[in-house]
Structure 1
Amino acid sequence: MRIPPLYRRKGYQRFFAGIVIGFICGWFFFLLSFGSLQEFYMTEIDRRDEEIKDLNEKFKHFREDYEEKNKENEKKLRIQEIKVSFLNREQVGLKGLPLIELENAVKSQLNDVLTKDIESVGQNSNLLIRTLENKNFFIGKETYNVNVYQMHLYTTLRLYLKVERVN
């Protein structure tokens, strides 16, 4: 079996030459368009990289400024209010007026802390706790002693106290 000698016919030669020339022209067109697209995308990527660098630098600057201002503001924070909660008032039998009087007595003991900055009160919190625990409060005919169960310190000083009746 033999392959027919088609390479000698001019029609087939032109057809195959057209395919080869078309392939070469298509390949050059592809390279040209692909190259121009790649160049466009590379310049776009470079531009966005520069924009990202600028934004990161601005963000870093703003973050540093923000942290600095927060530190300054934390130093300026002061205690504005004192809230006292008694955890075992039912067991001791504190109700009504004696409860309010004991709460006011504890608050009056802590009035020096109002308008002090939180940092200094936090450093002296042990002294504050010992002062409350060593103080006997006379309400009516009864004497009460308080133990600090928990203390939360921010712009509001929250004290959770356990009350003991002293005989």
Structure 2
Amino acid sequence: MHIPPYYKKKSVQRFLAGAFAGAVFSYFIFIYMHGSMYGELLAENRNLKSEVTELKNQNEALLEDNENLDEKSKEPIKVETIDISITNEEDLPDSLIIHDLEELIKEEITHIVGKDVSIISESDGLLKATIENKDFTVDDFTYQFTVDTLIIHHTVKLAVEAEIAE
């Protein structure tokens, strides 16, 4: 069997030349498309890597902050200030007396500043009794107090009612 010599015809030669040129052209297009796609993937990969490292750093910082907060929460809360308010100020004769009475009460319970809130809250009855059983004297008048409200936290807040003792 013999293959006919079609390669000698001009139409077959043009077809083979066109097929070869098309193959070369399509190979270059394939290389270009593959390169641009690979370049985009590399850029996306770098962006994702940088985002992952940023998120890891953020996670480490948050975990460290959480550990610091855990350590702080394990530390006991201490009383920092005392805030006293007299509920019946209008019954008292002078605003200077109100200020003096508040200062006297603060002096009486100033020992609780710097103590743990848990200790103070356990002995809140003792704190109330300390204020209610003591007579405070200002300008030849003696005052007694009854504790209306006692809030114990960083700031101990007392709402007291003043009466003139007889």
Fold in common (TM above 0.5):
yes
Give the equivalent residue in structure 2 for 1:35.
38
Alpha-carbon distance between aligned partners in 2 of 1:53 and 1:105, rounded to the nearest angstrom: 56
Counterpart secondary structure, 1:148? strand
Give the equivalent residue in structure 2 for 1:4.
none
Counterpart secondary structure, 1:79? coil
Contact 2:147 2:158 in 1 (8 A): no
Change in CA separation of 1:30 and 1:96 when aligned onto 2, cut-off 3 Å = closer
- How far has the Cα of 1:99 moved from its partner? 2.8
Give the equivalent residue in structure 2 for 1:66.
68
Task: List gaps (5 residues or longer) in structure 2.
Answer: 1-9
Give the equivalent residue in structure 1 for 2:153.
153
Give the equivalent residue in structure 2 for 1:137.
135
Mapping 1:36-51, distance limit 5 Å:
36-42=39-45, 44-45=46-47, 47-48=49-50, 51=53
1:2-53 superposed Cα distances (whole Å, 9 cap, x missing partner): xxxxxx989x969x769955455324421232124324533x1563365246
Mapping 1:97-116, distance limit 5 Å:
98-116=97-115
TM-score by length of 2: 0.62
Contact 1:136 1:144 in 2 (8 A): yes
Change in CA separation of 1:69 and 1:138 when aligned onto 2, cut-off 3 Å = closer
Alpha-carbon distance between aligned partners in 1 of 2:100 and 2:38, rounded to the nearest angstrom: 86
Alpha-carbon distance between aligned partners in 2 of 1:53 and 1:142, rounded to the nearest angstrom: 66
1:69-109 superposed Cα distances (whole Å, 9 cap, x missing partner): 4235x42x54354332212211x124155434432432233
Task: List gaps (5 residues or longer) in structure 1.
Answer: 1-7
Change in CA separation of 1:129 and 1:18 when aligned onto 2, cut-off 3 Å = farther
Alpha-carbon distance between aligned partners in 1 of 2:41 and 2:64, rounded to the nearest angstrom: 35
Counterpart secondary structure, 1:153? coil
Alpha-carbon distance between aligned partners in 2 of 1:19 and 1:55, rounded to the nearest angstrom: 54
Alpha-carbon distance between aligned partners in 2 of 1:99 and 1:38, rounded to the nearest angstrom: 76
Task: Count matched residues.
Answer: 153
